[in-house]
Amino acid sequence: MRVAVVMVMMLGLTVGSAGSESADTPPIGTMAQIMRGIYFPNSNIIFDVQMQDPGAPADTSSDDGTVTSSFSGIYTGWQVVENAALVLAESTALINMEGRICENGRMAPVQRYDWQKWAREMTDVSWEIYQAALRRDQDEVSELTNNLAEACDSCHRVYRSNAQQNRMRCLGTGVILPP
Ligand code: HEC
């Protein structure tokens, strides 16, 4: 009886907190950290498809005893490319989160029309790459990496710091396109 009551309480607590967490959890990392931790490594996996056939047998000779190398043979080949594309597609939700701060302490301009447009482009091109990866089409993925690089670049041209253009990070003048 006592166990049952505790279980019901735990269940209530879990359901309650799961609901509020998704709505109230504020962003934790800066925009730059999301770029370093998610955008950079996952897009590099996709860019590598230009030079390396993901379907080719993996090189398993470099097991140095680390956890990473010990488990490097579990998810391999095209599945790695699929996963990278999906993570990039879904990460639009992360960079669009209200309250995300840039490394310079300013709020990321996630509400601006051009930001949202380029973030959306990331999802669209990543989705296309995912589809091409499912078809195991190295040429098509390689071709699509141009669109991926373009999607990164469009946003960076306006919102990422650039020494030559002397822009502050996450500030930019912002080209406001008509909605
Ligand atoms: C919608 C806008 C947007 C898109 C799309 C975008 N970025 Fe960024 N990126 C930024 C902003 C803004 C910064 C500066 C963040 C800061 O200063 O906190 C940045 C910074 C970076 C940095 C530098 C992090 C550092 O060490 O300072 C890297 C690397 C990066 N982005 C990679 C990428 C890649 C790769 C893609 C495409 C796959 C991409 N980004 C797509 C907005 C974007």
| Distance from the alpha carbon of residue 113 to the mean position of ligand 1, in angstroms | 17
CA distance 119 to 151: 8
Atom of ligand 1 lying closest to residue 116 CA: 1
Q: Which residue's C-alpha comes closest to atom 13 of ligand 1?
A: 160
- Residues 59-96: tens digit of each pLDDT: 767 778 899 888 888 999 999 999 999 999 999 999 99
Residues in the chain: 179
Q: Which residue's C-alpha comes closest to atom 11 of ligand 1?
A: 160
The answer to whether the CB of 158 falls within 8 A of the CB of 174 is yes
> 152: Cβ below 6 Å to ligand 1?
yes
Best CA proximity match to 31, nearest among 111, 121, 105, 89: 105
Give, in degrees to the nearest 5, the angle at Cα 91 between 27 and 115.
Answer: 80
> 115: Cβ below 6 Å to ligand 1?
yes
Query: Looking at residue 167, what is its pLDDT?
Result: 56
| Distance from the alpha carbon of residue 52 to the mean position of ligand 1, in angstroms | 25
- Residues 10-64: tens digit of each pLDDT: 444 444 444 434 457 889 999 999 999 999 999 999 999 999 999 998 776 777 8
> pLDDT confidence of 172, banded at 50, 70, 90?
low
Tokens standing for residue 32: 């730059």
CA distance 57 to 53: 9
Substitution candidate for ligand 1 out of 28, 160, 175 with most atoms within 8 A of CB: 160
pLDDT above 90: residue 165: no
> 122: Cβ below 6 Å to ligand 1?
yes
> 100: Cβ below 6 Å to ligand 1?
no
The residue ranking higher by pLDDT, 135 or 166, is 135
Substitution candidate for ligand 1 out of 152, 154, 158, 177 with most atoms within 8 A of CB: 152
Q: Which residue's C-alpha comes closest to atom 39 of ligand 1?
A: 152
